[in-house]
Every structure is written in structure tokens, then in C-alpha cells.
Amino acid sequence: MNAIRALFVIVFVVLIASGTRASVILGPGTASCETWSADRQRNQTFSQLNQAWVLGYVTAYNIHKPVESSMTKPIDNRQIMLWIDNFCDANPDKTISDAAKALIEELTGRAQQ
């Protein structure tokens, strides 16, 4: 038990020292892209929850973004869902939050080429 505590303390200190923040994802964002795609095809209720989660994620980014991270490309809700659909079709093992993060990186011009 002491070894586990020591390991936890070491990891915590390293994260703080490196300036890295661990993000906790809650709700539908933890689901896989495979789930996103299946819900879009077969389960309207879950699909609407997933879509609302993505819109909330993007909205939260817009509210709390650094000034230098403006979204340079305008996009509407339908285009957002199509973008997430395409991402998830190509990356079924990723999560919905991975897709939303990649969307934001694309819209802010920070996507890795």
C-alpha cells in the first residue's frame, strides 16, 4: 500500500512540475467513435446526447479559450456533426472527446499535418 501511495505522489509531482494538466472527461465524451457511429445510425436518443455533448465541449472551448486560439474557420452544428462522423468513421478506436478535440484543432488551425 505504501508503494502505491509513493507512486501516486511521484506521478502527481511530475505532472505538476511538468505543467501538464490531466483532464477528466465526463459523460458521452468517454464513449468510442464506434459507439458514436452506431448511435448515429440506430439510436436517435443516444445520438442526440452525444451530439449535445460535442456542442457543449465546443461551446466550453469558445468560452474559455485563450485569446490567441480563436476559431479561424466558421462552422455550424450540422457541419460539426458531419466532421465528427467522418473522424469517427476513420478512427473507430478513438473517443468522442478525441474527435471533439481534433475538430477544435482543425478549426483553430492547430491540427498536426
Give residue 110's pLDDT: 64
Give residue 13's pLDDT: 39
Retrieve residue 75's grid coordinates.
462552422
Percent of the chain residues past pLDDT 90, beyond the cut? 52
Give yes or no for residue 79 having a pLDDT over 80. Answer: yes
Residue showing cell 466558421:
74
**End-to-end Cα distance, the chain:** 44
- Phi and psi dihedrals of 32, rounded to 5? -75, 160
Domain ranges of the chain: 25-107
Confidence of residue 66 (pLDDT cuts 50, 70, 90): confident
Give residue 90's pLDDT: 98
Q: Can you give the pTM of this predicted structure?
A: 0.73
